A and B are shown apart, each in its own frame.
Chain A
Amino acid sequence: MKKIFATLLAATCALSLIGCGGGSSSGTASTAAKTEDPSAKSEGVMTYAEYDAAALDTGVTIETYVQGKQSWWDNKATLYTQDGDGGYFIFEMPMSEEEYKKLTDGTKIKVKGFKSEWSGEIEIVDATYEIEEGNYIAEAKDVTDKLGTDDLIKFQNQKVAFKGVTVEKADDSGAAFIYNWDGSGQEGDDLYFKVSVNGQTYSFTVESYLTGADTDVYKAVKELKVGDKVDLEGFLYWYEGPNPHITSVKAA
């Protein structure tokens, strides 16, 4: 009797766990790696060039691949995505937390929404999406020589790299980084730091919603010393000019 009871109890507990797990996995596309053309589009979907040419406040339909998840809040997700030709920043796209968890780096999604601009950042808002079959993770493009040029904006929202840059003082205190843009923050807030290339200084951000205090990049920036030579990777976000969100810092 005890054995039967134990078996039944284990079975019911297992059922219970299934109940707690919630949400079915139906609709999740296979993420099995396979060779595919990340620029190829289904019927009725815009190419990146067509998206780029579309006027603001018009409807757009794109296929893209998740490269980074910035945040989920109030049933809305903000994503950095990219196809073979360009980047798409998707701002506050409605989805549940469970759906958000299904999106991993490389997941292919079809997005319908409106093209919009906010302080120079071109993005897709008021969007809906569906997961599609496919997977692609973009390589970071080296745009070091584009810093300070008008060409940099062509890489907006893409995964980019800045190589062999030198860490400079973040502010008058001589620190290599500060919390928040003016030093008003504390642990867990955005980190700001500066690097120089060819005598010009540029500022970079570790965006705490994308990469928080427990991430390698956050910890790495806190270890930076003025004068360090580093390679950086991140997403080329835009706010009144380039405002890269750095996701990797390594010694050059």
Chain B
Amino acid sequence: MSDYKKPARLKALGKRITACLAAASCAGTLLLTGCHGSRGSNEFVIPETFDTAKSIELTFWAKNDTNKTQTRIYEKAIKDFEALYPNVTVNMRLYTDYGKIYNDVITNISTNTTPNVCITYPDNIATYMTGSNVVVPMDDLIADPKYGLGGSELLYDGPAKEEVIPEFLEECRLGEHIYALPYMRSTEACYVNKTYVEKLGYTLPDVLTWDFVWEVSEAATAKDANGNYAVNGQKTMIPFIYKSTDNMMIQMLKQLDAPYSKEDGTIEIFNDTTRSLLKEIAGHAQTGAFSTFKISSYPANFLNAGQCIFAIDSTAGATWMGMNAPLSDIAPDKAVEFETAVRSVPQYDTGNPKMISQGPSVCIFNKADPQVVLASWLFTQYLLTNEVQIAYAQTEGYVPVTQKARDTEEYKEYLAAEGTDNDVHYDVKIKATKMFIENTTNTFVTPVFNGSASLRDAAGQLVEDVTKSVKRKAVVDDAYIDDLFGRVTALYRLDKTAAATGGKAADLGPLPGPAKALIGTLVVVWVLIGIYAGSDYLKTKKKKAS
């Protein structure tokens, strides 16, 4: 333990929040209104000019991957922006988890203390928008000739609208409006121990299929006479580990053209294809061929110790993958030598690959002063300048969200220098980046609506539950899956979404006893006040009459 290790999953979740928030967070639905009340602001109107004489303080809630370089890039971006706009001060609060940002934003909506600018996912924005005018729509801002993307009055060289990758900008559309700008994009990659694949007698294809991954994974569970796994000679081998099982299920369904959800929020995940996939996953979990991050640990730890062959994680986790990875949590004496290959996630139809698009976007919260909102917009837009985009993209397997940044010589040289060192030009990271760039048109996102974040969690829960259950010797059959569908529906309140209730407020059940007592007490107090006031009035009247 002479070296530090990154925080374990203890930091994968937020911490103490109120019961009200917990319920809202789970439901991600109309509950928010009940919990927090409606704290709307006036609709934002773009000021004619930005007042550079007015002192403005902005709060920026940022997310990094527990990565010091990313923190420094944010800090430099703020410093450079403040130099251009000396009347604006940007205070950054750093997070390492999207869920924690989401929780804190919801808490602060109720008190009108949201940040000005916030890294987020569109799924979360859908929940933030439960209040009126909470999140600023960006359509007019983007198109504004003076302060819009590439606007004439900007003090920096930002991208024009056409220079933002259109697929990524569209991901920020909720209904009729754009509510965020994309900041960085990533997808998932399969990091493969090619050495072990070949040792097992297989040839690694350019595009992985699910059948191939399952077959090799099963082959890797064979043990020798001493009870060690034959492929690595160790007591531990989990051939296939998936980090984000929500993405796993979502991508499987998309590739099979099976239902997941509709744009209007209709939940469709509980179908026969899902059932069939869960049975298949359970079968491989039962043999020990498959596990998940939540159940076992980070795929990178097993991959680098020679205890995993197919490790699926974000391209934004590439610097942890491989024997020469610049970042690693395992002890040096546990690491083994092997060749790391990078592939897209497994496919059902290799001629029509489909993979998820993910990564942070930036939204702006509405404030009473339009100058403050405009300053927020100027800073948000600044995050899309080449300097910020290229620097941040190099920290992990991210890709810039603007063609303007991708077309620079600086970025092209970065990609061309793949493998020239194990730091900025770490080959696995740049291979993951290139894989994503080559597949930009093969990416997709799921429909965003109030409740879509819960549905995403539910998709992952299905995979986690069947995997855990078979490890505990439970039988995953139709009866089990029927029960699982019911439990997950209830847990994530998927029967309480607006679409499920026909747009009506969800039935939250009877009031709890203490609430009934409180309301009853208040009624009594008001009655007594009325009696007292009435009595007082009659006495006064009587006195006057006498």
Residue of B nearest to A196 (CB): B2
Indicate which residue in B25, B93, B297 contacts A118 across the interface (CB closer than 8 Å): B297
Indicate which residue in B6, B25, B68, B528 contacts A9 across the interface (CB closer than 8 Å): B528
Q: A96-B19, A240-B331 are in contact. Are A181 and B2 (CB under 8 A)?
A: no
Q: Is the CB of A12 within 8 A of B16?
A: no
Q: Which residues of the partner chain B approach A78 to less than 8 Å between Cβ atoms?
A: 10
A220 contacts the other chain (CB 8 A):
no
Q: A1-B532, A73-B15 are in contact. Are A239 and B5 (CB under 8 A)?
A: yes
Could you tell me the distance between the alpha carbons of A179 and B410 in the complex, rounded to whole angstroms? 32
Could you tell me the distance between the alpha carbons of A118 and B3 in the complex, rounded to whole angstroms? 19
Q: Is the CB of B68 within 8 A of A183?
A: yes
A201 contacts the other chain (CB 8 A):
yes
Could you tell me the distance between the alpha carbons of A116 and B67 in the complex, rounded to whole angstroms? 29
State the Cβ distance, B519 to closest chain A Cβ, in Å.
8
B110 contacts the other chain (CB 8 A):
no
Q: Is the CB of A240 within 8 A of B330?
A: yes
Q: Which residues of the partner chain A approach B175 to less than 8 Å between Cβ atoms?
A: none
Residue of A nearest to B524 (CB): A12
> 1/0 per residue A103-126: CB within 8 Å of B?
000000000001010110100001
Q: Is the CB of B528 within 8 A of A57?
A: no
A71 contacts the other chain (CB 8 A):
yes
Q: Which residues of the partner chain B approach A25 to less than 8 Å between Cβ atoms?
A: none
B541 contacts the other chain (CB 8 A):
no
A128 contacts the other chain (CB 8 A):
no
Q: Is the CB of A16 within 8 A of B10?
A: no
Q: Is the CB of B16 within 8 A of A203?
A: no
Could you tell me the distance between the alpha carbons of A200 and B3 in the complex, rounded to whole angstroms? 12
Q: Is the CB of B17 within 8 A of A73?
A: yes
Q: Is the CB of A201 within 8 A of B7?
A: no
Q: Is the CB of B4 within 8 A of A200?
A: no
Could you tell me the distance between the alpha carbons of A200 and B169 in the complex, rounded to whole angstroms? 52
Indicate which residue in A18, A184, A241 contacts B67 across the interface (CB closer than 8 Å): A184
A174 contacts the other chain (CB 8 A):
no
Q: A75-B22, A209-B15 are in contact. Are A241 and B5 (CB under 8 A)?
A: yes
Q: Is the CB of B331 within 8 A of A19?
A: no
Could you tell me the distance between the alpha carbons of A21 and B157 in the complex, rounded to whole angstroms? 57
Q: Is the CB of A71 within 8 A of B517?
A: no
Q: A96-B19, A241-B331 are in contact. Are A184 and B517 (CB under 8 A)?
A: no
Q: Is the CB of A71 within 8 A of B67?
A: no
Chain B residues 1 to 48 lying within 8 A of chain A, measured CB to CB, are: 1-11, 13-19, 22, 25-26
Q: Which residues of the partner chain A approach B19 to less than 8 Å between Cβ atoms?
A: 75, 96-98
A26 contacts the other chain (CB 8 A):
no
Q: A16-B521, A74-B22, A183-B68 are in contact. Are A203 and B1 (CB under 8 A)?
A: yes
State the Cβ distance, A39 to closest chain B Cβ, in Å.
28
Q: Which residues of the partner chain B approach A207 to less than 8 Å between Cβ atoms?
A: 10
Question: Which of the four size classes fits the interface of chain B?
Answer: 35 or more
State the Cβ distance, B89 to closest chain A Cβ, in Å.
17
Q: Which residues of the partner chain B approach A71 to less than 8 Å between Cβ atoms?
A: 10, 13, 15-16
Indicate which residue in B66, B331, B528 contacts A12 across the interface (CB closer than 8 Å): B528
State the Cβ distance, A217 to closest chain B Cβ, in Å.
17
Q: Is the CB of B64 within 8 A of A184?
A: yes
Q: Is the CB of A19 within 8 A of B330?
A: no
Q: Which residues of the partner chain A approach B472 to less than 8 Å between Cβ atoms?
A: 57-59, 114
Q: Is the CB of A239 within 8 A of B532?
A: no
- The winner among B15, B329, B520 for most chain A CB atoms within 10 A is B15
Q: A15-B521, A18-B517, A73-B17 are in contact. Are A240 and B5 (CB under 8 A)?
A: yes
Could you tell me the distance between the alpha carbons of A251 and B373 in the complex, rounded to whole angstroms? 50
> 1/0 per residue B463-492: CB within 8 Å of A?
000001001100000000000000000000
Could you tell me the distance between the alpha carbons of A181 and B67 in the complex, rounded to whole angstroms? 9
B261 contacts the other chain (CB 8 A):
no
A44 contacts the other chain (CB 8 A):
no
> 1/0 per residue B219-234: CB within 8 Å of A?
0000000000000000
Chain B residues 496 to 525 lying within 8 A of chain A, measured CB to CB, are: 512, 514-518, 520-522, 524-525
> 1/0 per residue B294-317: CB within 8 Å of A?
011110010000000000000000
Could you tell me the distance between the alpha carbons of A241 and B297 in the complex, rounded to whole angstroms? 13
Among A136-144, A185-193, A222-230, the one that faces the other chain is A185-193
Residue of A nearest to B103 (CB): A73
B209 contacts the other chain (CB 8 A):
no
Residue of B nearest to A97 (CB): B19
State the Cβ distance, B166 to closest chain A Cβ, in Å.
32
Q: Is the CB of B1 within 8 A of A202?
A: yes
- The winner among B67, B512, B516, B517 for most chain A CB atoms within 10 A is B517
A27 contacts the other chain (CB 8 A):
no
Q: A71-B15, A239-B8 are in contact. Are A20 and B68 (CB under 8 A)?
A: no
Q: A1-B532, A15-B521, A58-B472 are in contact. Are A181 and B5 (CB under 8 A)?
A: yes
Could you tell me the distance between the alpha carbons of A209 and B9 in the complex, rounded to whole angstroms? 12
Q: Which residues of the partner chain B approach A243 to less than 8 Å between Cβ atoms?
A: 1, 5, 8
Q: Which residues of the partner chain B approach A86 to less than 8 Å between Cβ atoms?
A: none
B417 contacts the other chain (CB 8 A):
no
Q: Is the CB of A22 within 8 A of B512?
A: yes
Q: Which residues of the partner chain A approach B18 to less than 8 Å between Cβ atoms?
A: 97
State the Cβ distance, B369 to closest chain A Cβ, in Å.
27
Q: A119-B301, A181-B6, A182-B66 are in contact. Are A126 and B468 (CB under 8 A)?
A: yes
> 1/0 per residue A155-197: CB within 8 Å of B?
0000000000000000000000000111111100110101000
> 1/0 per residue A58-76: CB within 8 Å of B?
1100000000001111110
Q: Is the CB of A239 within 8 A of B68?
A: no
Q: A9-B528, A73-B14, A241-B331 are in contact. Are A16 and B522 (CB under 8 A)?
A: yes
Indicate which residue in A13, A75, A118, A192 contacts B296 across the interface (CB closer than 8 Å): A118
State the Cβ distance, A239 to closest chain B Cβ, in Å.
4
> 1/0 per residue B91-111: CB within 8 Å of A?
001101000000000000000
A242 contacts the other chain (CB 8 A):
yes
Residue of B nearest to A15 (CB): B521
Q: Which residues of the partner chain A approach B471 to less than 8 Å between Cβ atoms?
A: 57
Could you tell me the distance between the alpha carbons of A10 and B385 in the complex, rounded to whole angstroms? 63
Q: Is the CB of A5 within 8 A of B10?
A: no
A252 contacts the other chain (CB 8 A):
no
Indicate which residue in B26, B67, B329 contacts A240 across the interface (CB closer than 8 Å): B329
B446 contacts the other chain (CB 8 A):
no
Residues of A near any B CB (own CB < 8 A): 1, 5, 8-9, 12-13, 15-16, 18-23, 57-59, 70-75, 78, 96-98, 114, 116, 118-119, 121, 126, 180-186, 189-190, 192, 194, 200-203, 207, 209, 239-243
Other contacts beyond A184-B71, A201-B2: 11, CB < 8 A: A19-B520, A74-B17, A74-B22, A74-B25, A75-B22, A184-B94, A185-B94, A192-B4, A203-B4, A240-B331, A241-B1
Q: List 14 interface pairs A-B (beta carbons < 8 Å), by A numbering.
A: A19-B521, A73-B14, A73-B17, A74-B22, A97-B22, A98-B19, A114-B472, A180-B66, A181-B4, A184-B68, A186-B94, A203-B2, A240-B330, A243-B1
